[in-house]
Amino acid sequence: MNEPLINVLKKIQAHPITYLYDKSLTSLCYFIDGYTCKAREHNPYYSDSLSGKTITYGIEFEAFVFNYFSCTNFDAVKDWCFIIIERSDSDAAAFDKFLELFSKYVEGKVDDPNSKYVPLDNGESPSDDPLYTKLKKMCDLYYLYFRVKSILHIYHFIAGYTYRSLVLDPDYRDRFSGTGFGAFVHNHFRTDEINRKKEWVTVLLENSESEEEAFDIFFELLDEFMGAEKEKARST
């Protein structure tokens, strides 16, 4: 199954808080990063931007944004996300502006018919978890991926990755919801029955002094959770 990125963005535009922790272009960018990361795990030639690139690194869309805002050479080192935010009154306003621009960009175009799910033999065994491996790299090199430690950046990357995983495989096991990592976080903090409906990211933020501290706690708990999952798999 292949769902064009523009269709996903329209769903997010209609109900942003269903998919994002907050309505902001920054959050949406990390959601898109996660979405395209998963897509490229299975098909290295995946494209949603019609230029042979993902939207995050799309040369055509970046040029479109540069031309729209009449950017100068000084702006050449900035990506499209930063340019839109810089020229908006707020991150929320930038969210709306991006969706407006991207709709104009793809108007009258369709996705590359070759951008379909193609399993990729990347040497991983069935027991490996690609998302966990990716998250560990992001933790070690957070300054390259996020510039700052932010639990919300991680949350939105996971949300996008999970969304694309479910597009590819409706039976995909989402470790971060239900009885998975979410329940593990609630149990760790001994959340009462009233608050157990809260998402794990909210629980982490409520039990941390900052987004940076919540980022560090997330990875500590994630390692514990994955360790417990491996032990459970060995005993079955």
Q: Which domain holds residue 217?
A: 175-236
Q: Residues 96, 23: one domain?
A: yes
The domain boundary residue, chosen from 127, 149, 172: 172
Q: Residues 49, 148: one domain?
A: yes
Number of domains within the chain:
2
Dihedral sign (CA 60, 65, 69, 71): negative
In sequence order, what are the residues at sequence separation of 6 or more whose Cβ sits closer than 8 angstroms to the Cβ of residue 163?
A: 8, 19, 31, 34, 35
In sequence order, what are the residues at sequence separation of 6 or more whose Cβ sits closer than 8 angstroms to the Cβ of residue 108?
A: none
Structure tokens given for 186:
């609630």
Q: Residues 41, 76: one domain?
A: yes
Q: Give the Cα separation of 144 and 141 in Å (integer).
A: 6
Q: Give the Cα separation of 206 and 165 in Å (integer).
A: 29
Q: Residues 184, 115: one domain?
A: no
Q: Residues 129, 29: one domain?
A: yes
Largest Cα span, the chain: 61
pTM, two decimals, is: 0.73
Q: Residues 143, 195: one domain?
A: no
Q: What is the reported pLDDT for 44? A: 67
Give the side-chain half-sphere CA count within 13 A for 217: 21
Q: Residues 81, 152: one domain?
A: yes
35-57: per-residue pLDDT in tens?
A: 888 887 777 656 655 333 444 44
Residue matched to tokens 């922790």:
21
Q: Residues 140, 226: one domain?
A: no
The domain boundary residue, chosen from 172, 188, 208: 172
Q: Residues 69, 104: one domain?
A: yes
Q: Residues 160, 196: one domain?
A: no
CA distance to 12, 149, 183, 188, per residue, from 99 (Å): 10, 26, 34, 38
The domain boundary residue, chosen from 172, 192, 209: 172
145-204: per-residue pLDDT in tens?
A: 887 899 999 999 999 999 988 888 888 878 886 668 989 999 999 988 888 889 999 999
Q: Residues 77, 143: one domain?
A: yes
